[in-house]
């Protein structure tokens, strides 16, 4: 598909940014989108951003709705499968791509601006800068996917620079990603408000994900155990942090179709697990060849007694 140049010509013959109120405009050039959002802010509009890699689903739809609910705002949805957050043996080439369906969902949700650059535009020849995620970038997902979070933060930082949003929306399903983005915004004094949106789930509890498309029938049935494990862990919070992890593992070990990579309890900023108070339970597992992640908030309401029984 040939994507639009995102330019019109005004009466002086000079190109001007394309934007049509209540209509969807697709941009592929960063400078053009930057001019559009600058003009919108100059006219008193707020800019909201929903970064995605496409293959949009109901979770993305909820992000769009939250973004569109900001009074006096115009929403930008970015669609870019970022090669820098995929490892050499990961699924970049087969990652689901459905651009026309993605645009249709954006239209249905009243989105007015889509940013859909190609790889060469985002990473031109000679591009050599990246964001270091720090120690957390090598833990949990970072341990399983070396370099992933550096690539993710780099493209997110570029999107912030291009769209200059006032508010940006990310799903809580990728909780470590959300945590690292919040830290980057704080550490680098980026003027944007980051909103985490609760995970959207199927009726049986499975977290919505673009990678769910990879699941066969057996994998789909096995994957439900991940959300069931999170529920079990949440209910075990009154028995202390070790009980939370044990309850979740007990459910996962009962599902032969899952290969569990980690089950960890951390504090809300993904530091060490608290003895008492709010925490986050995180799970990664494979159903067949499909790698899935999920998480849930947990309240640890009493400390461990230290007694064995």
For the annotated catalytic residues, the residue numbers are 60
C-alpha atoms less than 13 angstroms from C-alpha of 294 in its C-beta half-sphere: 28
List all residues 6 or more positions away from 161 whose beta carbon is below 8 Å from its beta carbon: none
Do 33 and 162 contact (CB within 8 A), yes or no?
A: yes
Cβ-count burial of 289 within 10 angstroms (0-12 exposed, 13-18 middle, 19+ buried)?
exposed
Q: What are phi and psi of 103, to 5 degrees?
A: -65, -40
Longest dimension (CA), the chain: 83
Q: Is 209 annotated as a binding residue?
A: yes
Q: Is 55 annotated as a binding residue?
A: yes
What is the CB neighbour count within 10 angstroms for residue 177?
Answer: 21
Q: Is 197 annotated as a binding residue?
A: no
How far is 214 from 24, CA to CA, in rounded Å? 30
Q: Is 174 annotated as a binding residue?
A: yes
Q: Is 89 annotated as a binding residue?
A: no
Task: Tokens for 228, please give them.
Answer: 């069931």
Q: Is 173 annotated as a binding residue?
A: yes
Do 113 and 77 contact (CB within 8 A), yes or no?
A: yes
Q: Is 58 annotated as a binding residue?
A: yes
Q: Is 59 annotated as a binding residue?
A: yes
* Nearest residue to 221 (alpha-carbon basis) of 147, 283, 287, 175: 287
Q: Is 196 annotated as a binding residue?
A: no
Q: What are phi and psi of 118, to 5 degrees?
A: -95, 170
How far is 106 from 204, CA to CA, in rounded Å? 26
Do 66 and 37 contact (CB within 8 A), yes or no?
A: no
Q: Name the residue with tokens 């249709």.
A: 104
Q: Is 90 annotated as a binding residue?
A: no
Q: Is 54 annotated as a binding residue?
A: yes
Q: Is 203 annotated as a binding residue?
A: no
Residue numbering of the annotated binding site for beta-alanine? 85
Residue numbering of the annotated binding site for (R)-pantoate? 85, 177
Residue numbering of the annotated binding site for ATP? 53-60, 171-174, 200, 208-211
Residue numbering of the annotated binding site? 53-60, 85, 171-174, 177, 200, 208-211
């Amino acid at each position: 598909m040939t994507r639009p140049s995102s330019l019109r010509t005004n009466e002086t013959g000079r190109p001007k940014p394309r934007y049509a109120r209540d209509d969807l405009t697709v941009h592929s050039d960063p400078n053009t989108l930057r001019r559009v959002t600058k003009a919108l802010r100059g006219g008193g509009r707020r800019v909201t951003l929903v970064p995605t890699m496409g293959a949009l689903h109901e979770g993305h739809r909820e992000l769009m709705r939250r973004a569109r609910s900001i009074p006096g705002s115009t929403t930008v949805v970015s669609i870019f499968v970022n090669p820098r957050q995929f490892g050499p043996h990961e699924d970049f080439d087969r990652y689901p791509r459905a651009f026309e369906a993605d645009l249709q969902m954006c239209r249905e949700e009243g989105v007015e601006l889509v940013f859909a650059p190609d790889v060469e535009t985002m990473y031109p020849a000679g591009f050599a800068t990246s964001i270091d995620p720090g120690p957390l970038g090598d833990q949990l997902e970072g341990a399983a996917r070396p370099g992933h979070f550096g690539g993710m933060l780099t493209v997110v930082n570029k999107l912030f620079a291009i769209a200059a949003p006032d508010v940006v929306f990310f799903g809580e399903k990728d909780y470590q990603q959300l945590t690292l983005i919040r830290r980057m915004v704080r550490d680098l004094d980026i003027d944007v408000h980051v909103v985490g949106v609760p995970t959207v789930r199927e009726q049986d509890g499975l977290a919505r994900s673009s990678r769910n498309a990879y699941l066969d029938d057996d994998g789909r049935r096995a994957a439900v155990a991940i959300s069931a494990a999170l529920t079990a862990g949440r209910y075990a919070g009154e028995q202390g942090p070790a009980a939370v992890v044990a309850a979740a593992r007990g459910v996962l070990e009962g599902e032969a179709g899952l290969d569990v990579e980690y089950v960890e309890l951390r504090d809300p900023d993904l530091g060490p697990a608290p003895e008492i108070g709010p925490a986050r339970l995180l799970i990664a597992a494979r159903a067949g060849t499909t790698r899935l992640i999920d998480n849930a908030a947990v309240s640890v309401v009493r400390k461990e007694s230290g007694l064995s029984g």
